[in-house]
Amino acid sequence: MLQQFNLLMDYIETHLTEDISREEITKIVGLSDYHFKRMFSYLAGMSLSEYIKNRRLSVANAELINGARVTDVAYKYRYQSVEGFSRAFREWNGFLPSEVVKNKIQKSFPKFTFFIDIRGGKSMEFKIEKKEQFNIVGVSKRVPIQFEGVNNAIVELAQTITEQQRKEMHQLADLYPHYVLNVSYNFDDGYLEEKGYLTHMIGFATTKENLYADLEQITVEESLWAIFPNEGPFPQTLQETTARIYSEWLPSSDYELVDLPGISFSKHNGQSENVYSEIWVPVKKK
């Protein structure tokens, strides 16, 4: 996977003055939009669109110092107007392009190179488990993609669940963990978008077919799953474990992602200090 990411960095570097092709990105990294965005964000510490913007402005900075005209540089690096370029440049550099030209102010943002960095020797507990096809029944809605903090849209979804729906879900639930699952799928396309939405379902795993009109059902195909138990303050521990899965475990493992829903559950005990959770990541052998 790190090799694909480095190939992507090479591709971006040779296309900074052109539109970045989503199809080419897909071909290079071989991941769904959501999994790629998530993995890149955890590895790089920023979104892909932010990385591309920073690289373009860094190269533009060098060209301005070497005597290029502000107007030429603005349109060369895909800005629709000189005003838009100047605003973005000042936010990034702290100075207007004209000030950089006059005073030769240099700021750079180097091209990324990805490699495995082993830190601290902190181990991750996980197991690989094959699961037969199963269903998830529950309620769902489109929510903003959010990797950190409490997603208020998901909280609002949980608050809409009626007692009748809870009773029906419990009647259908017949698979581990016999506990509420959080399931994410149907992610918006577009690698370069800062924002997007996904469908989030709150429900239970079951072998049964849903017969209730007020519940929805999705079918999860047979797959291997990497399962990561974790325990600690919620939601910080859950989110930190997710970040480590994508930034540390996946790049160095013998597995790659499968385009199936992401699943997790947490056993809330009335407090948030020591919550047990599991993260299920669909994978296959490389």
- Give pLDDT, residue 193: 59
Q: Is the peptide bond before 177 cis (omega within 30 degrees of 0)?
A: yes
Q: 2-103: which CATH number, 1.10.10.60, 2.60.40.1120, 1.10.3470.10, 3.40.50.1000? A: 1.10.10.60
Where are the chain's structural domains? Answer: 2-103, 127-285
Q: What is the pLDDT along the chain (286 residues), one digit of tens a residue?
A: 788 999 999 999 999 999 988 888 988 988 877 778 878 888 888 889 999 999 999 999 999 999 999 999 999 999 999 999 999 999 999 999 999 999 999 899 999 998 766 554 567 899 999 999 999 999 999 998 887 778 899 999 999 999 999 999 999 999 999 999 999 998 876 655 556 889 999 999 999 999 999 999 999 999 999 999 999 998 889 999 998 898 888 888 889 899 899 999 999 877 778 899 999 999 999 8
- Give pLDDT, residue 192: 59
- Give pLDDT, residue 261: 94
- Give pLDDT, residue 176: 96
Q: 127-285: which CATH number, 1.20.1260.10, 3.20.80.10, 3.30.70.1090, 3.40.30.10? A: 3.20.80.10
* SS3 track for the chain: CHHHHHHHHHHHHCCCCCCCCHHHHHHHHCCCHHHHHHHHHHHHCCCHHHHHHHHHHHHHHHHHHCCCCHHHHHHHCCCCCHHHHHHHHHHHHCCCHHHHHHHCCCCCCCCCCCCCCCCCCCCCCCEEEEECCEEEEEEEEEEECCCCCCCHHHHHHHHCCCHHHHHHHHHHCCCCCCCCEEEEECCCCCCCCCCCEEEEEEEEEECCCCCCCCCEEEEECCEEEEEEEEEECCCHHHHHHHHHHHHHHHHHCCEEECCCCEEEEEECCCCCCCEEEEEEEEEEEC
Single pTM value for the model: 0.77
- Give pLDDT, residue 218: 98
